[in-house]
Chains A and B, each alone.
Chain A
Amino acid sequence: MTTIDDFRRETQAWLEANCPPSMRTPMPDGELVWGGRTVEFKTEDQRLWFEHMRDKGWFCPDWPAEYGGGGLSPEQNAVLESEMRRLHCRPPQINLGIWMLGPVVLEFGSEEQKRELITPMARGEIRWCQGFSEPNAGSDLASLKTSAVDAGDHFLVNGTKIWTSYGDKSDWMYMLVRTDANVPKQQGISLLVVDMKSPGIEARPIDLISGRSSFCQVFFDNVKVPKRQLVGPLNGGWTLAKALLQHERRAMSKFGEFSLPNHVDLLSVAARYLPPADAASTADVALRTRALAMAMDEHAYTLTAQRMGEEARARQDVSGLMAIMKLVHSEQEKDKLEVLLDVMGHRALGWEDEAFDSSELALTRAWLGSFAQTIAGGSSEVQLNVIAKRVLGLPEGKQGK
């Protein structure tokens, strides 16, 4: 029997041998690898790292080996995570399916579904997208209207989903549909998985204020979905949706521990665009002070992500911490970019031209893009409701259910 120390030694050796050195560097923008039918690699090392981890079953290290997972115990998984952090290993791939749908299928899916869905997922063969929001069901997700009508051996799906990230590039979608319109809204929802190649599906990218985006609106016109693609009980989808969103928060929080691309260092931007201290006006000093306070708050957030990781590994309850992370991060990013805009003046207002350098143009887009972050994935107001009610236990108000 191998002890956890043996496992740590073996894992170290394996990572040293199988993670190419270039995959142990901070990931530049645009170098995320998305698993799927048409996975694309920018470098040979990306491909190697992807294949080694896939063949080891370590895309999903703690999933059962019989479905293609790594079969690791929670302790072993924690060791693997800590060793990957120590070596600065990049995530070998990003896949919504593994983060969100997988754990729910493992918990609620049938044996047949586990074999059909989990195994290719664990090998990074399918790129998944999410169909939750609709034009008239945003924060009030349960009011969704896209319908799935019983048509014998299949459902007939009609309606539209919006804010689906990479809807045009994904292979399959997991989606919430209305299967009963005559009961309280949470009780008539089901979870389906759908092949995006099915006839009747069209995904259209959405232009945002920041330009072309990964968000799509997806239209369903009499799409046939075989009944075996219903996950969990009919009309039991709301429970699964809540579980999915919890996995999302957990995944997002783990992601926060990696160094993310696009990180702009406030203080170096301030140093570049503001005059030196001996030539600074009162306004320059005030701007610099705002940039500093913002950088310090950002530092406190980074430390909070680190603390959450440590507390989770020490088996402490981190549900309260998890509830604040998305709220704080997205609001901070918005504030930070506004400070940067003020520091950079018109240099941060370029749209497309050689008059601006690429980092300036990227900052403008990041600022415009930041507005979506406090809306998508549960708006800040929804996050605050969750904290108030579930974490602080404040009483339910009179607002609608």
Chain B
Amino acid sequence: MSLVYSEEQRLLADTAAEFLQARSPVVAQRRLRDEGAAAGFDDALWKEMVGMGWSAIPFPENLGGLAFGCMGLGAVFEAVGRNLAATPLLSSIVLGGTLIELAGSEAQQAEWMPLLISGDKRIALALDEHPRHDPVTTALRAERRDTGYVLQGEKVFVADGKGADAFVVVARTSGAPGEHEGLSLFVVPAATPGLNVSAMGMIDSRNHARLRLNDVHVDAGALLGAEGQAWAALEAALDRGRVCLAAELLGMTQSLFDTTVEYLKTRVQFDVPIGSFQALQHRAAWCYAHLHLARSAVMAGLAAMDDPTLDAAGRARLASLAKWKAGDVAHRISREAVQMHGGMGVTDELDVGLFLKRIRVAQALLGDGDFHVQRYSDVTPVEA
């Protein structure tokens, strides 16, 4: 398991950085926010990303993918973070696409993979039901009726849910909240009667949705994978999502840190650059050290997804480490960035606040730090 990008991966990282800097810089995200774009991202730009092959990166070749692995994806997500770029790459490809890849039948794969990879359709994952992410607490019921199922309940914090063509809804077909057994996945088209999608306006101005499912009838063909056995595929897909999100967090944090160090060198008070004050130098140096630790954890998380010698627990352990450390360091550095920018740091004029807001949302998405500490513990064997 290597913790550095290969030649090809670095090339991809450079291309992604160049493209996003030119076509989707932070100012473009600000514009999306000010225009109140419902999709939360620029669809034309998304099609360009598709054109560059990004949507095919993680999937095997027999499903139309590039089999370039999560390390490759991580290189893209780091650039996404640096530029604060909004894209449905995480929701529709990494989460939605992976669930179709891992749990779908051949027919379902044949129906969805080309549409997802081409960007013609989008799938969003409807999982969370509570203020804090914790998949095992899923309670939304799916009852067998006639030849199909009826879904009843509510989903929240659904990334890129507005305008999605379909949802993968995580539902309980048996068992009780707290049990891994009994969870099932359903592909539910957005137009299904009884499904109501509404926007959740959040601090990052991205597309987050609330789903209300009121007597939503789906046929048996909507079931993705075996009934009650969704846990393994769900965890695998979530872990891919978590490491990609960790890479995005890393990119955002790096960008914020670089901006802050630059500010320390140029902002003059008491006739000297404030970066000459040891109190600030030492805090900046600590941020730098932690940023390195976060980078190592993220690289290990990405590499773990591509490592066939690891079992699910081994992958989970490194994914949780990556998400925890990237979130933790992003939190530390975003606080310092605001503080060190002084009064300007709390104005909307600077981009610092835009990063702070997206970082806070990305921290909560797919499990906050406390969740991942618990999870790391659950999957780490302890020597007696």
A279 to B275 alpha-carbon distance, docked (Å): 51
Which residues of B (259-304) have their CB < 8 Å from a CB of A? 261, 264-265, 272-273, 275-278, 280-282, 284-286, 288-289, 292-297, 299-300
Q: What interface size band does chain A fall in?
A: 35 or more
A307-B299, A384-B286, A397-B281 given as contacts; is B373 within 8 A of A292 (CB)?
A: yes
A395 to B199 alpha-carbon distance, docked (Å): 47
Name the contact of A395 in the complex, choosing from B4, B272, B285, B325 (C-beta under 8 A): B272
Which of chain A's residues has its CB closest to B369's CB? A293
Contact string, A384-397, partner B, CB cutoff 8 A, digits 1/0?
Answer: 11011101111111
A301 at interface, CB cutoff 8 A: yes
A303-B296, A394-B281, A397-B281 given as contacts; is B288 within 8 A of A292 (CB)?
A: no
Which residues of B (284-334) have their CB < 8 Å from a CB of A? 284-286, 288-289, 292-297, 299-300, 321, 324-325
Which of chain B's residues has its CB closest to A324's CB? B289
The reply to whether B321 and A296 contact each other, CB–CB distance below 8 Å, is: yes
The reply to whether B288 and A324 contact each other, CB–CB distance below 8 Å, is: yes
A289-B373, A392-B288 given as contacts; is B296 within 8 A of A310 (CB)?
A: no
The reply to whether A384 and B296 contact each other, CB–CB distance below 8 Å, is: no
Q: Which residues of A contact B282 (CB under 8 A)?
A: 381, 384-385, 388
Q: Which residues of B contact A272 (CB under 8 A)?
A: 384
B347 at interface, CB cutoff 8 A: no
Contact string, A287-304, partner B, CB cutoff 8 A, digits 1/0?
Answer: 011001101110111011
The reply to whether A310 and B293 contact each other, CB–CB distance below 8 Å, is: no
Name the contact of B297 in the complex, choosing from A295, A303, A384 (C-beta under 8 A): A303
The reply to whether B289 and A300 contact each other, CB–CB distance below 8 Å, is: no
B380 at interface, CB cutoff 8 A: yes
Name the contact of B296 in the complex, choosing from A300, A383, A393, A398 (C-beta under 8 A): A300
Which residues of B (146-195) have their CB < 8 Å from a CB of A? none
Residues of B in contact (CB 8 Å), total 38
Q: Which residues of B contact A295 (CB under 8 A)?
A: 380
Which residues of B (222-273) have their CB < 8 Å from a CB of A? 261, 264-265, 272-273
B295 smallest CB distance to A (angstroms): 7
The reply to whether A300 and B294 contact each other, CB–CB distance below 8 Å, is: yes
A397 smallest CB distance to B (angstroms): 4
B289 smallest CB distance to A (angstroms): 4
A296 to B293 alpha-carbon distance, docked (Å): 11
A272 smallest CB distance to B (angstroms): 8
The reply to whether A311 and B4 contact each other, CB–CB distance below 8 Å, is: yes
A327 at interface, CB cutoff 8 A: yes
The reply to whether A300 and B272 contact each other, CB–CB distance below 8 Å, is: no
The reply to whether A327 and B289 contact each other, CB–CB distance below 8 Å, is: yes
Q: Which residues of B contact A324 (CB under 8 A)?
A: 288-289, 292
A314 at interface, CB cutoff 8 A: yes
Q: Which residues of B contact A15 (CB under 8 A)?
A: none
A399 to B276 alpha-carbon distance, docked (Å): 9
Which of chain A's residues has its CB closest to B277's CB? A397
B299 smallest CB distance to A (angstroms): 6
B375 smallest CB distance to A (angstroms): 10
A296-B325, A303-B296 given as contacts; is B281 within 8 A of A384 (CB)?
A: yes
Chief secondary structure at chain B's binding surface: helix
A397 to B94 alpha-carbon distance, docked (Å): 47
Which of chain A's residues has its CB closest to B278's CB? A397
Q: Which residues of A contact B66 (CB under 8 A)?
A: none
The reply to whether A300 and B384 contact each other, CB–CB distance below 8 Å, is: no
Which of chain A's residues has its CB closest to B1's CB? A306
B14 smallest CB distance to A (angstroms): 15
Contact string, A338-374, partner B, CB cutoff 8 A, digits 1/0?
Answer: 0000000000000000000000000000000000000
A292-B377, A394-B275 given as contacts; is B4 within 8 A of A307 (CB)?
A: yes
Which of chain B's residues has its CB closest to A313's CB? B4
A327 to B286 alpha-carbon distance, docked (Å): 9
B265 smallest CB distance to A (angstroms): 6
Q: Which residues of A contact B41 (CB under 8 A)?
A: none
A95 smallest CB distance to B (angstroms): 29
Q: Which residues of B contact A306 (CB under 8 A)?
A: 3, 296
A268 smallest CB distance to B (angstroms): 5
The reply to whether B293 and A267 contact each other, CB–CB distance below 8 Å, is: no
The reply to whether A328 and B299 contact each other, CB–CB distance below 8 Å, is: no
Contact string, B352-384, partner A, CB cutoff 8 A, digits 1/0?
Answer: 000000000000000000000100110010111
The reply to whether A396 and B276 contact each other, CB–CB distance below 8 Å, is: yes
Which of chain B's residues has its CB closest to A288's CB? B377
A267 to B264 alpha-carbon distance, docked (Å): 40
Which of chain A's residues has its CB closest to B280's CB? A394
A316 at interface, CB cutoff 8 A: yes
Q: Which residues of A contact B214 (CB under 8 A)?
A: none
A321 at interface, CB cutoff 8 A: yes
The reply to whether B285 and A387 contact each other, CB–CB distance below 8 Å, is: yes
A52 to B171 alpha-carbon distance, docked (Å): 65
Q: Which residues of B contact A383 (CB under 8 A)?
A: 285
Contact string, A16-32, partner B, CB cutoff 8 A, digits 1/0?
Answer: 00000000000000000
**Considering residues B261, B293, B324, B383, which has the most beta carbons from chain A within 10 angstroms of its beta carbon?**
B293
A267-B382, A381-B282, A388-B285 given as contacts; is B296 within 8 A of A307 (CB)?
A: yes
A300 to B12 alpha-carbon distance, docked (Å): 25
Q: Which residues of A contact B281 (CB under 8 A)?
A: 384-385, 388-389, 392, 394, 397
A300-B325, A303-B300 given as contacts; is B288 within 8 A of A395 (CB)?
A: no
The reply to whether B284 and A310 contact each other, CB–CB distance below 8 Å, is: no
B279 smallest CB distance to A (angstroms): 10
Q: Which residues of B contact A384 (CB under 8 A)?
A: 281-282, 285-286
Q: Which residues of B contact A301 (CB under 8 A)?
A: 293, 296
Q: Which residues of A contact B288 (CB under 8 A)?
A: 320, 324, 387, 391-392
B2 at interface, CB cutoff 8 A: yes
The reply to whether B264 and A300 contact each other, CB–CB distance below 8 Å, is: no
The reply to whether A310 and B278 contact each other, CB–CB distance below 8 Å, is: no
The 9 nearest A-B residue pairs measured at CB:
A388-B281, A387-B285, A303-B296, A304-B296, A307-B3, A324-B289, A394-B275, A300-B293, A384-B285
13 more contacts with CB within 8 A, not counting A303-B300, A385-B278, are A265-B382, A271-B382, A271-B384, A292-B373, A292-B377, A295-B380, A297-B293, A304-B296, A307-B3, A320-B292, A384-B282, A388-B285, A393-B265
What are some 9 contacts across the A-B interface (CB < 8 A)?
Answer: A307-B299, A310-B4, A388-B278, A388-B281, A392-B261, A394-B275, A394-B276, A395-B265, A397-B276
Which residues of A are in contact with B by a Cβ distance under 8 Å? Answer: 265, 267-268, 271-272, 288-289, 292-293, 295-297, 299-301, 303-304, 306-307, 310-311, 314, 316, 320-321, 324, 327-328, 381, 383-385, 387-389, 391-399
